[in-house]
Amino acid sequence: MEKGKGIMGSGRRWAVDFSDNSTAPSSRDIPDPPGFTRASVNQDDSTVSRQKKDAESNWKAQKAWEVAQAPFKNLLMMGFMMWMAGNTVHLFSIGITFSALWQPISALQGVGKVFEPYKDNKVDLLGPKLLFIALNLGGLALGVWKLNTLGLLPTHASDWVSSLPPAQEVEYSGGGIPL
C-alpha cells in the first residue's frame, strides 16, 4: 500500500490509509459505532478466546449428541414402513427390507465422517459415537427381524432337511410271483 501512496499521493480522494488504530485508543478521529463500549476492548485476549472456545465446545457436544440420536427417528420411520409392507414377499416389501438393512450399514461405515465437524480436543465424542452405533445396530436388527418374518432366513428345521437324499438301505430283497 505504500506503493499506492507513493504513486498516487494524497491528492487522490480514494487513497486508503491502512493504519492500525486498535492499539492506540487515544486516536479519536473516527467516532465509535453506536452501542460500542470501550470497556470490552480492555480485556485480556486469552480469556476471550477461552470463553469462546468453551462456548464452542459446549455447542459441539450438544450437536454431537443430537446427531447421535438422529438414527432413532430413522428407526421409527423404517419400522412403520416395514409394518406397512406386509408379510408377503412382494417387490415393495423386499425393497423396504433391503433398504432398512443397507441404511444402517452405510451409516456405520461413515461414522467418522458424520462426527468430523464436531471434532474438538475438549469434547468427548466416544459417548455420542457409541450411541450412534448402537442405534444403527438396532436398525439392522429390525431389518433382519423383518427378513425373518418374511420367511427368508433359514431358521426352521425344514430349510436344512429338505435337500437330504434318501438314506441307503442295508438289506435288499427281491422276488414275487413265480414266473
Partner 1 sequence: MLKLKGTLMLASPQDIAAIQSMRLKNSEKSKMTRDHNGFRKLLIVLTRAGKLFALHTGDGHIVWSHLLQSLQKSKVCQHPIGLNLYKWQVPHHHAMDENPSVLVIGKCGPSSDAPGALSFVDTYTGKELSSLSLVHSVAQVIPLPYTDSTEQCLHLLIDADKHAHLYPKTPEAISIFEREFSNIYWYSVEDDNGIIKGHALRGKCTGEVADEVCFDTRELWSIVFPSESEKIIVTVTRKLNEVVHTQAKVIADQEVMYKYISRNLLFVATVALKGSVEIGSVTPEESWLVAYLIDTVTCCILHQVTHHGSQGPVHAVFSENWVVYHYFNLKAHRYEMSVIEIYDQSRADNKDVWKLVLGKHNLTSPISLYSRPDVITKSQSYFFTHSVKAIAVTSTTKGITSKQLLIGTIGDQVLALDKRFLDPRRTVNPTQAEKEEGIIPLTDSLPIIPQSYVTHALRVEGLRGIITVPAKLESTTLVFAHGVDLFFTQLAPSRTYDSLTDDFNYALLLITIVALLAAIFVTWTLSERKELQENWR
Applying CB under 8 A, does 149 fall inside the site for partner 1? no
Q: Residue 5: is it exposed, middle or buried by C-beta count within 10 angstroms (0-12/13-18/19+)?
A: middle
CA proximity to 69, closest of 149, 132, 3: 132
Applying CB under 8 A, does 89 fall inside the site for partner 1? no
Selected binder of partner 1 within 42, 46, 106, 168 (CB under 8 A): 168
For 108-143, give one letter per residue: b (16+ CB within 10 A) or e: eeebeebbeebeeeebebeebbebbbebbeebbebb
Applying CB under 8 A, does 169 fall inside the site for partner 1? yes
Applying CB under 8 A, does 90 fall inside the site for partner 1? no
C-alpha 56/C-alpha 117 separation (Å) is 12
Of 80 and 160, which has the nearer Cβ to partner 1? 160
Beta carbon of residue 162, minimum distance to partner 1 (angstroms, whole number): 5
The three cell numbers of residue 165 are 437324499
Applying CB under 8 A, does 162 fall inside the site for partner 1? yes
Applying CB under 8 A, does 31 fall inside the site for partner 1? no
Of 19 and 163, which has the nearer Cβ to partner 1? 163
Residues of the shown chain interacting with partner 1 in the complex, contacts defined by CB under 8 A: 151, 155-179
